Amino acid sequence: MVKINAKAVIFDMDGVLVNTEPAIRRACIEALKDYGVNAKPEDFVPFTGMGEDAFIGGVAELYGVKYQTEMKVRAYDIYDEIAQSDVILFDSIKETVLKLRKNHRVAVASAADLRKVKINLRCLGMSVDDFDAVVTGSDVTNKKPDPEIFLKAAEKIGVAPKDCLVIEDALSGVTAAMRAGMQAIGVLGTFAGADLISHGAALTVDDTKNILAHII
């Protein structure tokens, strides 16, 4: 079994702590209808993990419609209404985070805006106070695959990048972790294990709670 020595664990949010893809795609599809865009769920795959500006904007532009920030606001309004019923929760996430915090610094680094991160944590019965730091797309200039968000998280928790382990489900996120000089574990879901490994993940797991067996 692969074992990774780390002083800090940095979690992505979507697809790692919660499965938000069906809910956020539904919200974005409904929001884009207001702008004359009839998007399909598969349209969003290339923009997964890059934050909602790219997630919504990329799809809008596929249909020849210029992105407006009001599209994201509308999508978040819809998402807030449906999250409690539509966001899929993974088993034992809160317990996993609390176990890690006994011996590690723990952070969230999500390309989503803070509003969405708070909604997701609410679905988990958690808050930003359950982590040593929370960095969101609202806090950075460059989104994944740029390493800025992970480097900022490492700085906030006071741990060198080489001692940080990133938990990611998206190719852009794994790439960002590699560029930050960090190790990564890929969570299977949106992308295949072979693709996550080829982008730099040290290993993959089929459930976030299973990372505990691999962290020293």
SS3 4: strand
Catalytic, out of 14, 53, 132, 146: 14
Give the pairing type, strands 133-136 and 18-19.
unpaired
| Integer angstrom CA distances of residue 26 from 36, 42, 65, 136 | 15, 11, 19, 22
From 138, 200, 196, select the one nearest 16 (Cα to Cα): 196
In this structure, are strands 164-168 and 183-187 parallel, antiparallel, or unpaired? parallel
Beta strands in the chain (DSSP E): 8-11, 18-19, 88-89, 105-110, 133-136, 164-168, 183-187, 203-205
Element (H, E) at 99: helix 93-101
Q: Which of 12, 53, 113, 132 is catalytic?
A: 12
Catalytic residue status for 163 = no
CA–CA separation, 138 and 115 (whole Å): 9
Beta strand 183-187 with 203-205 is: parallel
Q: Tell me the residue type at 176.
A: A
N-to-C CA span, the chain: 12
* DSSP-derived 3-state class of residue 67: coil
| Distance, CA of 70 to CA of 157 (rounded, Å) | 33
Q: Is 14 one of the catalytic residues?
A: yes
Active-site positions? 12, 14
